Chain A
Amino acid sequence: ETGVTQTPRHLVMGMTNKKSLKCEQHLGHNAMYWYKQSAKKPLELMFVYSLEERVENNSVPSRFSPECPNSSHLFLHLHTLQPEDSALYLCASSQERTAGNTIYFGEGSWLTVV
């Protein structure tokens, strides 16, 4: 059981589609993250939101657009993706300014771009 839930778990989309990934955390945290996990590559940090403000954007292409309407919800809007964007997208959350700042992950959304 996880305190971070992601929907959908699986998504297949065409290169011209627009879709969104949703994440909700039930842990009372104030920071949320999107990571990308591709085969044979380290997990890549995409975006970080702290207190609902984006504090990190790691040179992610504009076809990925994050949205954080409140501290419990995080979206990743997807638009005109490429096949190489197929990956597992992991949402995570943490409580800032606490020792250790453990990051808790959801189970991920598997994205296939066709």
Chain B
Amino acid sequence: AQSVTQLGSHVSVSEGALVLLRCNYSSSVPPYLFWYVQYPNQGLQLLLKYTSAATLVKGINGFEAEFKKSETSFHLTKPSAHMSDAAEYFCAVSDRAGTASKLTFGTGTRLQVTL
């Protein structure tokens, strides 16, 4: 069984400040890990993914995440927040077995960016 825990349902940062969104996972097999973003009234857009090629993963819009096996974490960061980053962010884990990928999502973190 696999699961994802996102710490903090709401995070507020000032424009230009560091963004840190936390994600811890549980998986019985080496996981694939994903971060998705959802803007208001839209579907989910892939930000980045970890597939074991490199522990530091760079994504779109200046975001990156680091896979830490010892901490079972995959936190999302961005050095400088922009107003356009305000959205809901979902961490997800996928098992590697079976005939089709199945993502297990966290409950999401809503990011607010203030002036």
Residues on A facing B (Cβ under 8 Å): 2, 4, 6, 31, 33, 40-43, 45, 48-51, 55-56, 90, 92, 94, 96, 99-108
A54: nearest chain-B partner, CB-CB: B100
Residues on B facing A (Cβ under 8 Å): 32, 34, 36, 41-46, 49, 51, 90, 94, 98-108
A55-B99 contact, Cβ under 8 Å, with A100-B49, A100-B51, A108-B42: yes
B44: nearest chain-A partner, CB-CB: A105
Is the Cβ of B46 less than 8 Å from the Cβ of A50?
A: no
Is the Cβ of B45 less than 8 Å from the Cβ of A105?
A: yes
Q: Which residues from chain B contact A51 at a C-beta distance below 8 Å?
A: 99
A-B contacts, CB under 8 A, total: 64
Once the chains are docked, how many angstroms separate the CA of A108 from the CA of B43?
Answer: 6
B42: nearest chain-A partner, CB-CB: A107
Closest Cβ–Cβ distance, residue B95 to chain A (whole Å): 10
Once the chains are docked, how many angstroms separate the CA of A61 from the CA of B71?
Answer: 38
Q: Which residues from chain A contact B100 at a C-beta distance below 8 Å?
A: 31, 33, 48-50, 55-56, 94, 96
Q: Which residues from chain B contact A45 at a C-beta distance below 8 Å?
A: 102-104
Once the chains are docked, how many angstroms separate the CA of A40 from the CA of B108?
Answer: 9
